[in-house]
Amino acid sequence: MRKKQNKKRLFSFGGLENKENDLRICIEDLHNVLNYGVGGLKLWEGSLDLVKTLQSEIQDGQLLLTGKRVLELGCGHGLPGIFTGLEGAAVIHFQDFNAEVLRCLTIPNVNANLLKKSQPLATDVSGWNTDAEFRFFAGDWSEVYQILPYVHTNKKDHNCSPGLGQSVGYDVILMAETVYSISALPHLYELIKKCLNRLNGVVYMAAKKHYFGVGGGSRRFLSVVDKDGVMEASLVSEVADGSSNVREVWKLHFK
């Protein structure tokens, strides 16, 4: 008997149409999340570390999100991407391997935090970014670039040939707790190169230094980056609060 082969599937969701109350796993107040965390479903520490780092980068004048194109990889709850929407990003795209995560978790969170004017999250309501483009993409890192709209279209382009495609790509790529699997690291890195704006694009990566038992970690991912030689990384913050293994946030960009 011939075995059935599992085919990889890619999904794209446009707009914000999921309003079912039984699916609302919502983070109503981003500031409370940062201060106290959340109950219920697991929210990885790296997502909160990443949001705090983005706040600090903005306050220090190192990051401007207004009008930028943002992609969050392995988004889950989508907190970092949601934060960029509150800070004026023009395009926020969320990617996760599992389409059900996007339907049941990410989309309700985006609805709750960015579209409910009855419970504003910002002190200046006029500064809300409700005109931003929100889209959601499901698929494996090795294939999802096929449905993402802002990607470099050829190998020479994403390998940094001078003068090619410098205005193409996302301005900011976010990822939290995505580098735990050694086998997935090359695919993740190649996806980043395909998607990042070569001229001024920046990647913010929040991760544990080591993921015991699975072999991945921030340093293992950075070894992939260093070996390729076309991007450089700098450590932005380190968290050693005793609640988990040492956590880090790194910033990467093309040389």
Q: What is the 3-state secondary structure (H, E, C) of 2-61?
A: CCCCCCCCCEEEECCCCCCHHHCCCCCCHHHHHHHCCCCCCCCHHHHHHHHHHHHHHHCC
Q: What is the extent of the structural domain holding 248? A: 45-254
Q: Is residue 220 part of a domain?
A: yes
Confidence check: pLDDT of 224 > 90 = yes
Residue 128: per-residue pLDDT = 43
Residue 243: per-residue pLDDT = 67
pLDDT digits (tens, 9 = 90+) for 126-152: 444 467 889 999 999 999 999 999 998
| Residue predicted with more confidence, 78 or 245 | 78
Confidence check: pLDDT of 153 > 60 = yes
Confidence check: pLDDT of 231 > 60 = yes
Q: Is residue 9 part of a domain?
A: no
The letter for the amino acid at 160 is: C
235: three-class secondary structure by DSSP: strand
Residue 175's CATH number = 3.40.50.150
Alpha-carbon span 194 to 170, nearest angstrom: 10
- Mean model confidence pLDDT for the chain: 78
Q: Is residue 137 part of a domain?
A: yes
Q: Is residue 212 part of a domain?
A: yes
Categorize the per-residue pLDDT at 8 as very low, low, confident or very high, splitting at 50, 70 and 90.
low
Give the DSSP letter of residue 88.
T
* Greatest mean pLDDT range, 26-40, 77-91, 158-172: 77-91
Number of domains in the chain: 1
Q: Is residue 12 part of a domain?
A: no
Burial 204-239 (b: 16+ CB within 10 A, else e): bbbbbebbeeeebbbebbbebbeeeeebebeebbeb
Categorize the per-residue pLDDT at 122 as very low, low, confident or very high, splitting at 50, 70 and 90.
very low
CB atoms within 10 A of CB 77: 26
Rounded percentage of the chain residues whose pLDDT exceeds 70: 71
